[in-house]
Structure 1
Amino acid sequence: MGLTDNETTLVMLDSSNFSSENVNTTEINLNDSPPNVTASFNFALKCLDFFNFYYLAIIIIFGMVGNTLNFLVFTRTHLKLRSSSYYLAALALADLGFLLTLLVVWLNHVGVDLFNRQGFCQALVYTSSVCSCLSVWLTVAFTIERLIAVQYPLQRPYMCTVRRAKIIISVLTLTTLTCHVYSLFTAGITDAGPDGKSICDLLPAYYRFMHVVNLLDTVLTLVIPFILIVVMNTLIAKNLIVFSRTFNRKKSRSNNSSAQHIQVS
Structure 2
Amino acid sequence: MKGLLDEETLSRLDLYPLETKVNIVTIAILSFKDCGLSKCITRYLVAMAAADLMIIVWNVILHRIATLYWGSTFLFYTPVCRFILFMSPAAIDISVWLTVSFTFDRLVAICYQKLKTKYCTEKTAVVVITTVSSVFCLKNIPWPFLYSSYYNWMLWGCKLSRNVFIEPSWIAYSWIEQLLTPVIPFFLILFFNIVTVKRILIASRGRMSLRKHSNDRDEKDPEMINRRRSIVLLFAISSSFILLWMTTVIYFIYIRITSAFKGRSLFPAFPRFQEAGIILQLLSSCTNTAIYTITQRKFRNLLLSAIKYPFTLIGKLVKCGGKHY
Cα deviation digits, residues 65-99 of structure 1 (max 9, x gap): 23222222222223586112112211111121121
For the residues of structure 1 that align with 2:186 and 2:69, how far apart are their CA atoms? 37
**Aligned partners of 1:225, 1:150: CA distance in 2, in Å?**
20
Deviation at 1:112, TM superposition (A): 4.7
1:133 counterpart residue number: 93
Between the aligned partners of 1:65 and 1:98, the Cα distance in structure 2 is 13
For residue 77 of structure 1, what is the aligned residue in structure 2?
Answer: 33
Cα 1:109–1:227 change in 2 (3 A) is closer
Query: What is the distance in 1 between the residues matched to 2:87 and 2:203?
Result: 43
Structure 2 distance, partners of 1:61, 1:127, is: 18
Q: Secondary structure at the match of 2:78?
A: coil
Match of 1:4 in 2: none
**TM-score when scaled to structure 2?**
0.57
- Deviation of the 1:248 alpha carbon: 2.5
Deviation at 1:210, TM superposition (A): 3.3
Give distance in 1, aligned partners of 2:147 and 2:33. 41
TM-score (norm 1): 0.69
The reply on whether 1:210 has 2:167 as its aligned counterpart is no
On the 8 A contact 1:126/1:180 being kept in 2, the answer is yes
- Contact kept, 8 Å, 1:140 with 1:228, in 2: the verdict is yes
Q: Which has the larger radius of gyration?
A: 1
Letter matched to residue 235 of structure 1: V
Deviation at 1:110, TM superposition (A): 3.1
Please identify, of 246-255 and 128-137, the stretch whose mean Cα deviation from structure 2 is larger: 246-255
Structure 1 residue 174: Cα displacement: 1.4
**Which one-letter code corresponds to 2:65 in the other structure?**
W
Conserved? CA contact 2:78–2:157, under 8 Å: no
For residues 116-156 of structure 1, the C-alpha deviation after alignment (integer angstroms, 9 at most, x for no partner) is 33122101010012111111111111011100110123542
Give ranges in structure 1 of 5+ residues lacking alignment: 1-6, 17-48, 192-197, 259-265
Verify the 8 A CA contact 1:121 1:188 in the aligned structure 2: no
Unmatched segments (≥5 aa) in structure 2: 219-325
Output the CA distance in 2 between the equivalents of 1:160 and 1:200: 43
Quick one: distance in 1 between partners of 2:114 and 2:19? 36
Structure 2 counterparts to residues 213-228 of structure 1, below 5 A:
213-228=173-188
Residue in structure 1 matched with residue 57 of structure 2 by the alignment? 100
Of residues 85-94 and 154-163 in structure 1, the stretch that sits farther from structure 2 once superposed is 154-163
- Figure out how many residues of one structure are paired with residues of the other and give that number: 208
- Does structure 1 retain, via aligned residues, the 8 Å contact 2:90–2:137? yes
Q: Which residue of 1 aligns with 2:22?
A: 66
